[in-house]
């Protein structure tokens, strides 16, 4: 039976959005759970929250909706707002346990786990005053815990499992694409978003118009980046003045965008320079690198999840939470500029560990050469993972000539076993990007640079290259290899990449961020599927770079073909054991839906005949996989296995 959880958060949308970072932690503790979110918001905001994974449904706090909720029974009610309306709702719900804030004897009270947050809130005790400051304000300023830590303690989850996630829908992606075309934004352009206003509650959150103008001038003249100016309706006049004074050096995002449109345009930025505002929380949820400046509010409470640089006002008024705060006068323009430059530099100068896995591969030397001869723009090391004596000797000879080449002795228990040893040894210690390929392929010219370029966008977690067949199309098995790579895998990845959907990478060439997210993979699944899934679940996007090509030799006889395909299909069939919601791309159903595209690939009667034979062969393969896994219990297991006809 599902664990029913009611989460109450009625504050401003930025506050609500950062609260949704608790959802992965909730799911981690209560695996089979439904989270209903109650928020004091209008329909536009409820629609915006539909793009946050992990919410079963979002309910407005109006009386009719709450009356309907009173008819339900929840296992847990988590109320994270210490205000009367939220406490009234929480106290009216039928539940097994309430955590957070509620009404008791006509007054707002709290459960034991919420005491620390309550004490530093506006309702906390004012006495005794410390250095002339009310006691609750002193606690607030002294606090060094993030909001996620504090809220996790209230509801009883692991704060390390918190992760903000916002996923763009098809309409948002189309809106962003239209904007890119309108302003001629190119793939290699570096984009800095400026969101320097802050609405009306705390004017001191804003960077002044003059400082914003100077920042635009310096970013444009020194860094040569493209700049997009963001704002809401209350910033319309302010932004108009900034645009006029900037003389065409900045692109206007507009101030009348819907929330979903604002998020779509934020997704275009490599760096987002922002006040402590809704824009900041949207950028964080989109995994964007953020330079955030803080004046009247606490910087300590903001968790930027490793994407941050915080600029804190030097004013004694910092973190006073007063509407007339003067902390904005002490924002350092130089600090903001150099922080932005630093984050851009880290994107441009990312390091890579290129990992080649091989087992008795006669063409291993060709693979190594195809990497070494590239003019790679990034610092890198080339780690070759091999278990056999011949390959070890070859790698040692290369390592004497090239300092980038290093040997990793694999115990010979299988590829996934070797990768897990690598993750344990190199996680967060190797390159910032890990790029994997096999020792029986040839990497295309500039393929490493193309993979690395995609990682300039901090929201990208995994990148797949494009396998290209080296076989001749003049025989049946060669034609099959071209059809499956071109009309099959290439087209599928290209379509899903355009749609912003999940897809499995190619094990022949793919990369991912070495950020500690992948610590270990199961031994009975495909690494090129489970690793992208790990990143996808954390809100990262998966990208397909078809210009990053890798040339592959495919099987030349049916025995080798069915052996390779059975092994690959079984490795993907095992995924649901670890990820029940895995969006399977390699499946019989998906293949069946693309039969017509396969038939269209044929150009001659002979190719049409071969295509029909391939369809029959795939039917046989899937039937064989179904029989062996469901009736004989023969599942994929990790081991080095040679496909002989691909080695000559």
- For the chain, which residues make up each domain, given as ranges? 3-161, 170-347, 349-646
Quick one: angle between helices 259-266 and 278-285, nearest 10?
A: 60
Spatial contact of 572 and 554, defined as CB atoms under 8 Å apart: no
Spatial contact of 409 and 415, defined as CB atoms under 8 Å apart: no
Residue 613 and residue 538: Cα distance in Å, rounded? 41
Confidence of residue 439 (pLDDT cuts 50, 70, 90): very high
Query: What per-residue confidence (pLDDT) applies to 325?
Result: 83
Is the pLDDT score of 646 beyond 80?
no
pLDDT in tens, 240-261: 999 999 988 999 999 999 999 9
Q: Which CATH number fits domain 349-646: 3.30.1490.190, 3.30.450.20, 3.90.550.10, 3.30.300.30?
A: 3.90.550.10
Q: What is the SS3 assignment for 540?
A: coil
Q: Do domains 170-347 and 349-646 have the same CATH topology?
A: no
Query: What per-residue confidence (pLDDT) applies to 626?
Result: 72
Is the pLDDT score of 628 beyond 70?
no
What is the H or E stretch that residue 57 is in? Answer: strand 57-60
Q: Which residue has the tokens 């997704």?
A: 267
DSSP state of 215: H
Is the pLDDT score of 414 beyond 90?
no
Confidence of residue 630 (pLDDT cuts 50, 70, 90): low
Query: What per-residue confidence (pLDDT) applies to 635?
Result: 58
DSSP state of 576: G
CA 384 from chain center: how many Å? 28
Query: What per-residue confidence (pLDDT) applies to 588?
Result: 61
Residue 315 and residue 341: Cα distance in Å, rounded? 24
Cross-strand partners of 184:
none
Residue 584 and residue 589: Cα distance in Å, rounded? 10
Nearest to 53 by CA among 546, 496, 568, 539: 539
Backbone angles phi, psi at 340, to 5 degrees: -65, -45
ω into residue 237 within 30 of 0, thus cis? no
ω into residue 463 within 30 of 0, thus cis? no
**Helical segments of 361-414, H only:** 364-372, 389-401
Residue 39 and residue 16: Cα distance in Å, rounded? 8
Min mean pLDDT across 233-242, 314-323, 525-534 is at 314-323
Is the pLDDT score of 629 beyond 80?
no
Spatial contact of 571 and 507, defined as CB atoms under 8 Å apart: no
Nearest to 262 by CA among 235, 294, 243, 242: 235
Long-range Cβ contacts of 492-500 (<8 Å, 24+ apart): 492/585, 492/590, 492/594, 493/464, 493/466, 493/544, 493/546, 494/544, 494/546, 496/544, 496/585, 497/542, 497/543, 497/544, 499/170, 499/173, 500/167, 500/168, 500/170, 500/173, 500/541
Cross-strand partners of 438:
357
> Which residues touch 409 (CB under 8 Å, ≥6 apart)?
386, 387, 392
Label residue 28 exposed, middle or buried (CB < 10 Å: 0-12, 13-18, 19+).
middle
Q: What is the mean pLDDT of the chain?
A: 90
Query: What percentage of the chain exceeds 90 in pLDDT?
Result: 63
Residue 299 and residue 319: Cα distance in Å, rounded? 8
Question: Can you name the CATH fold of 170-347?
Answer: Rossmann fold (3.40.50)
Q: 582 versus 14: which is more confidently predicted? A: 14
Query: What percentage of the chain exceeds 70 in pLDDT?
Result: 94
Query: What per-residue confidence (pLDDT) applies to 137?
Result: 84
HEC letters along 254-271: CCCCCHHHHHHHHCCCCE
Residue 217 and residue 235: Cα distance in Å, rounded? 20
Q: In what order do the strands lie in the sheet with 441-443?
A: 405-409, 380-386, 352-357, 433-438, 509-513, 460-469, 541-552, 441-443
Residue 457 and residue 57: Cα distance in Å, rounded? 31
Q: 23 versus 581: which is more confidently predicted? A: 23
Spatial contact of 477 and 455, defined as CB atoms under 8 Å apart: no
Q: In what order do the strands lie in the sheet with 226-229?
A: 251-252, 226-229, 191-195, 271-275, 289-294, 308-312
pTM for the predicted model, two decimal places: 0.87
User: Alpha-carbon torsion 577, 578, 579, 583, what sign?
Assistant: negative
Cross-strand partners of 8:
38, 79
DSSP state of 632: S
Confidence of residue 203 (pLDDT cuts 50, 70, 90): confident
Cross-strand partners of 192:
227, 271
Is the pLDDT score of 189 beyond 60?
yes
CA 203 from chain center: how many Å? 32
DSSP state of 223: I
Spatial contact of 103 and 79, defined as CB atoms under 8 Å apart: no
DSSP state of 577: G
pLDDT in tens, 341-361: 999 988 888 899 999 999 989
Spatial contact of 335 and 311, defined as CB atoms under 8 Å apart: yes
Query: What per-residue confidence (pLDDT) applies to 507?
Result: 92
Q: Which CATH number fits domain 3-161: 3.10.450, 2.60.40, 3.30.1380, 3.40.50?
A: 3.40.50
Residue 636 and residue 600: Cα distance in Å, rounded? 33
pLDDT in tens, 10-25: 988 889 999 999 999 9
Spatial contact of 453 and 282, defined as CB atoms under 8 Å apart: no
């Amino acid at each position: 039976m599902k664990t029913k959880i009611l989460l109450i958060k009625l504050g401003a949308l930025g506050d609500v959005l950062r609260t949704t970072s608790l959802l992965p932690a909730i799911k981690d503790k209560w695996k089979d759970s439904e989270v209903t979110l109650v928020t004091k918001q209008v329909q536009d905001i409820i629609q915006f929250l539909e793009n946050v994974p992990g919410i079963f449904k979002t309910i407005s706090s109006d009386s009719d909706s709450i009356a309907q909720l009173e008819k339900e029974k929840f296992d847990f009610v988590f109320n994270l707002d210490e205000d009367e309306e939220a406490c009234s709702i929480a106290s009216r719900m039928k539940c097994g346990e309430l955590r957070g804030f509620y009404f008791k004897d006509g007054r707002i009270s709290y459960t034991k786990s919420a005491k620390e947050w309550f004490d530093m809130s506006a309702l906390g005790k004012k006495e005794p005053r410390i250095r002339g400051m009310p006691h609750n304000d002193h606690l607030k300023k002294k606090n060094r815990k993030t909001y996620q830590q504090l809220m996790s303690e209230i509801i009883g989850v692991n704060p390390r499992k918190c992760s903000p996630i916002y996923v763009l829908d098809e309409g948002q992606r189309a809106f962003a694409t239209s904007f890119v075309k309108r302003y001629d934004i190119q793939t290699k352009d570096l984009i800095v978003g400026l969101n320097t206003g802050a609405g009306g509650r705390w004017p001191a959150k804003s960077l002044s118009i003059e400082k914003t103008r100077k920042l635009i001038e310096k970013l444009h003249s020194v860094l040569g980046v493209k700049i997009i100016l963001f704002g809401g309706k209350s910033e319309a006049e302010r932004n108009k003045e900034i645009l006029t004074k900037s003389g065409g050096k900045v692109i206007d995002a507009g101030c009348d965008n819907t929330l979903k449109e604002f998020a779509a345009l934020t997704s275009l930025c490599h760096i987002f320079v922002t006040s402590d505002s809704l824009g900041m929380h949207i950028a964080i949820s989109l995994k964007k690198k953020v330079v955030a400046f803080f004046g009247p509010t606490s910087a300590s409470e903001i968790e930027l999840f490793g994407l941050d640089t915080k600029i804190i006002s030097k004013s004694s008024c910092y973190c006073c939470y007063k509407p007339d705060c003067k902390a904005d006068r002490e924002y350092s323009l130089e600090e903001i500029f150099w922080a932005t430059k630093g984050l851009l530099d880290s994107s441009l100068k990312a390091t890579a560990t290129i990992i080649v896995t091989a087992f008795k591969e006669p063409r291993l030397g060709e693979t190594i050469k195809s990497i070494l001869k590239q003019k790679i723009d990034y610092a890198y090391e080339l780690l070759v993972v091999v278990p056999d004596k011949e390959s070890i000797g070859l790698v040692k000879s290369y390592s004497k000539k090239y300092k980038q080449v290093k040997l990793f002795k694999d115990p010979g228990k299988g590829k996934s076993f070797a990768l897990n040893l690598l993750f344990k040894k190199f996680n967060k210690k190797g390159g910032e990007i890990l790029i994997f390929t096999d020792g029986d392929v040839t990497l295309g010219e500039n393929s490493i640079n193309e993979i690395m370029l995609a990682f300039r966008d901090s929201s990208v977690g995994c990148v797949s290259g494009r396998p290209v067949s080296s076989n001749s199309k003049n025989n049946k098995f060669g034609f099959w290899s071209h059809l499956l790579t071109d009309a099959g895998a290439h087209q599928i990845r290209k379509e899903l990449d355009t749609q912003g959907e999940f897809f499995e990478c190619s094990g022949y060439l793919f990369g991912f961020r070495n950020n500690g997210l992948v610590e270990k993979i199961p031994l009975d699944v495909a690494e090129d599927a489970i690793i992208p899934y790990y990143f996808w679940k954390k809100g990262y996007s998966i990208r397909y770079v078809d210009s990053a090509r890798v040339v592959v030799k495919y099987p030349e006889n049916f025995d080798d073909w069915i052996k390779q395909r059975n092994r690959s299909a079984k490795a993907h069939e095992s995924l649901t054991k670890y990820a029940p919601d895995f969006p399977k791309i390699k499946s019989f159903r998906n293949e069946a839906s693309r039969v017509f595209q396969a038939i269209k690939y044929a150009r001659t009667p002979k190719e049409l005949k071969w295509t029909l034979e391939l369809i029959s062969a795939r039917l046989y393969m899937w039937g064989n996989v179904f029989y062996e896994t469901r009736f004989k219990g023969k599942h994929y297991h990790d081991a080095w296995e040679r496909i002989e006809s691909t080695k000559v």
